[in-house]
Amino acid sequence: MDLWDAVPNAWQTPLVHIRPQIEAIGRRLDEYEIDGITINPSRQQIFAALQISPQDVRVVILGQDPYPNAAHAMGLSFSVPAGTQPLPPSLRNVMAELTADVGECSVTQGSLEPWIDQGVLLLNRVLTVEAGQSDSHKAFGWQDVTEAILRTVIEVNPDVVAVLWGKQAQETRGLFNPVFVIESVHPSPLSAYRGFLGSRPFSAVNRLLSRQEKAKIQW
């Protein structure tokens, strides 16, 4: 499967300029898989975040890279398939902060998919990873692709709310209207207690949406 073919139709026209890089990454992934190396998420899920059309994005939650565990990675930042137990540590911290911030929520099963229909783009900075090896595809060139995705969103919605968790996500802060940027350390156990827990990002998103007279996210 050509990796470009996995890009949803609504995104192909605005991303056509980055098609050669996506195809080059696809060829590199092919080589790894020929060598017996497992890549997460599956080829069909690499662009799962783009199931929402650019014009429908109101909020971006930007993470680092997919989960290295194939049972967790699904192409959506921080999300896992519904019913996954135990939850990966980063998501446990996200859920703990979500509950502390807004109370009852719609994503108690670990899947963050209910947010997508409300305009939330769940994107990672890097879209693939070698199974068992976090941050292993950092040098593949994915950052150019995800920057192109973000620029596409911003062109349609200059006041999109950006939630940037961790250093890799924060590399993109200059793309966004600074008034609508929410950032903190990554929710991983290595850093969550240094500024993620207690940051109340979910209620902050809704305050920014209200300032724009837009509907709040039902977290």
Known catalytic residues?
65
- From the CB of residue 213, how many other CB atoms can be counted at a distance below 10 Å? 6
- From the CB of residue 88, how many other CB atoms can be counted at a distance below 10 Å? 20
The H or E element spanning position 203 is helix 201-211
198/171 Cα distance (integer angstroms): 22
- Please enumerate in sequence order all residues whose Cβ is within 8 A of that of 45, keeping only pairs 6 or more positions apart, or say none: 73, 74, 75
Q: Is the bond preceding 201 in cis, omega lying within 30 degrees of 0?
A: no
Residue that has been written with the tokens 């950032």 in this structure: 183
Bridge-based pairing state of the strands 120-124 and 181-184: unpaired
91/7 Cα distance (integer angstroms): 26
Of 114, 107, 32, 111, the C-alpha closest to 73 is 111
Amino acid, res. 90:
S
Of 185, 192, 151, the C-alpha closest to 170 is 185
